[in-house]
Amino acid sequence: MKKIFNLFDFKQKVNYRTEILAGLTVALALIPEAVAFAIIAGLSPLTGLYAAFMMGLVTSILGGRPGMISGATGAVAVVIVALAVSHGPEYVFATVVLAGLIQVLAGVLRLGKLIRLVPHSVIFGFVNGLAIIIFTSQLDQFKTVNEAGELVWMTGEPLYILLALVLTTMLIIWGLPKLTKVFPSSLAAILVIFGVVAFLGIDTKTVGDIASIQGGFPPFHIPMVPFTWETFALILPYAAIMAGVGLIESLLTLNILDEITETRGRGNKECVAQGTANVLSGFFSGMGGCAMLGQSLINVSSGARARLSGIVAAVMLLVFIMFAADLIELLPMAALTGVMIMVAIGTFEWASLRTFRRMPKSDVLVMVLVTLVTIFLHNLALAVLVGVIISALVFAWDNAKRIRARKYVDDKGVKHYEIYGPLFFGSVTAFNEKFDVLNDPEEVIIDFSESRIVDMSGIEAVNKLTERYLKQGKKLHLRHLSRDCRNLLQNADEIIEVNILEDPTWKVATDKA
């Protein structure tokens, strides 16, 4: 029993009222997004709602970050839309299951720590791009279908009513916490706008105008696809991309919530939880998903800090689908639009704009580029990957310029080269330019006490250098090689001829000056 209490974080002090109200707020906000993402993916609305329930419930119980919300997401929808259109939902379900297994494997292999390689400038760009996407996606609520069946901007009284309701929602969310934090401001805003619309009989767009959410418990079934190598080859690329996108978005969301709550989540545990949730989602007619930054921020800003809020959100979402669909379909979209716009405003890293003149130009470039890729391609994984690659190339370039050699000749006529900085593929050219093989004396010492041989390019550079000295009949000593450099040389000697003089085994002179 104690283990069960610990699983739900009941070992910590939990504000049950806050957790329940926050979960209810999230459940209401999940509905239109889950429906919209399912439609984007070419699937039925219930497929998105079932995914939101299963992802939210499993990750809330097993995940590595209490308070984080998972569900059907646009990033996943974009990945599977082509498969859904060409082969149908059953292939999507099989893909979701395979993606979940890949994510579980990533967690078991402890690959979650790779998120540490994502620079802060990339996180800034990711968050800002996602905030802009959240905001621009709400603009669709200000459009309507004209008599010709075209989607056009609202005008006149419908537009003024919608704007008034949205602005009132935003005002309540902004102002209520200044008066009291007893009740989540987002939920209060939704209930107030719902009451105003119902009492005054205001004609405005509701959740039911998007799609019906009436349904039952998610049906279990094994995806009806041929269990053949051809099927596996077809869904594997989609599953791999979906798994990567889901883990990147989830782990970045985890890191952001860590900073907000000043606590630390567990990345590898979250990988396993995301994978398990996707496997079950595929078996229970869901489109799969990952962590949702916007919903997670709603949850955390409502005061939730434990797993209970996520569990309540998932359970209440299912209750709405099974028993209260008629009522939930009457919710004004204006209220939910106002909530999401406030989420977008809160998500955007406004502080990043003030750092433009203080941050290195390369970091500013990475941040802006990641933001643009996120906005225009709606591919969060690609945006992060591009940012990491550019940051890595900038880092390599900067380190390539830092290699130095201090030169002097001692009283015995031996020339010393004291190397500073890493020797790797980027610094090989600069390293070779430091030596004057033809004019150096008969004996030369290269001191690596302030340097390291990092990769095969560095080994080959040293190898070629010793050949040049050997051709001139001169002796070359290498000193103060670190243990990892010696191991690297030893491994390389099994593949290429490591031509370093003096030591009878590895031909490395380690005597100290």
The pLDDT assigned to 255 comes to 87
Q: Which whole-number Å values give the CA distances from 98 to 73, 85, 160, 236, in the listed order?
A: 18, 19, 47, 7
The pLDDT assigned to 208 comes to 83
Q: Which residue has the higher pLDDT, 170 or 117?
A: 170
Extract the tokens encoding 336.
């939910």
Q: Is the pLDDT of residue 158 over 50?
A: yes
Q: What is the mean pLDDT of residues 479-485?
A: 72
Which residue in the block uniquely carries the two structure tokens 């610094």? 427
Report the predicted TM-score, pTM, of the whole model to 2 decimal places: 0.73
Q: Which residue has the higher pLDDT, 14 or 172?
A: 172
Q: How far apart, in whole angstroms, are the C-alpha atoms of residue 5 and residue 7?
A: 5
3-state secondary structure 451-473: EEECCHHHHHHHHHHHHHHHHCC
Q: Which residue has the higher pLDDT, 350 or 499?
A: 350
Q: Which residue has the higher pLDDT, 239 or 145?
A: 239
Q: Is the pLDDT of residue 513 over 60?
A: no
The pLDDT assigned to 291 comes to 93
For the chain, domain boundaries: 2-353, 401-493
**What is the amino acid identity at position 451?**
S
Q: Is the pLDDT of residue 256 over 70?
A: yes
Q: How far apart, in whole angstroms, are the C-alpha atoms of residue 73 and residue 51?
A: 9
Could you give the 3-state DSSP secondary structure of residue 513?
Answer: coil
The pLDDT assigned to 81 comes to 83
The pLDDT assigned to 328 comes to 85
Extract the tokens encoding 110.
């402890």
Q: Is the pLDDT of residue 226 over 90?
A: yes
Q: What is the mean pLDDT of residues 117-125?
A: 82
Q: How far apart, in whole angstroms, are the C-alpha atoms of residue 26 and residue 348?
A: 19
- What mean pLDDT, rounded, does the chain reach? 84
Q: How far apart, in whole angstroms, are the C-alpha atoms of residue 67 and residue 395?
A: 35
Count other Cβ atoms within 10 Å, centred on residue 45. 22
Q: Which CATH class is domain 401-493?
A: alpha beta
Q: Is the pLDDT of residue 230 over 60?
A: yes
Count other Cβ atoms within 10 Å, centred on residue 154. 16
Cβ–Cβ < 8 Å for 207, 32: yes
The pLDDT assigned to 484 comes to 66
Cα 143 to its chain centre, rounded Å, is: 31
Q: Is the pLDDT of residue 157 over 50?
A: yes
Q: Is the pLDDT of residue 507 over 50?
A: no
Q: Which residue has the higher pLDDT, 85 or 347?
A: 85
Q: How far apart, in whole angstroms, are the C-alpha atoms of residue 502 and residue 476?
A: 8
475-479 and 443-453 beta bridge pairing: parallel
Q: How far apart, in whole angstroms, are the C-alpha atoms of residue 319 and residue 325?
A: 8
Q: Return the minimum-mean-pLDDT range out of 219-228, 373-382, 407-416.
A: 373-382
Q: Return the minimum-mean-pLDDT range out of 35-39, 253-257, 386-390.
A: 35-39
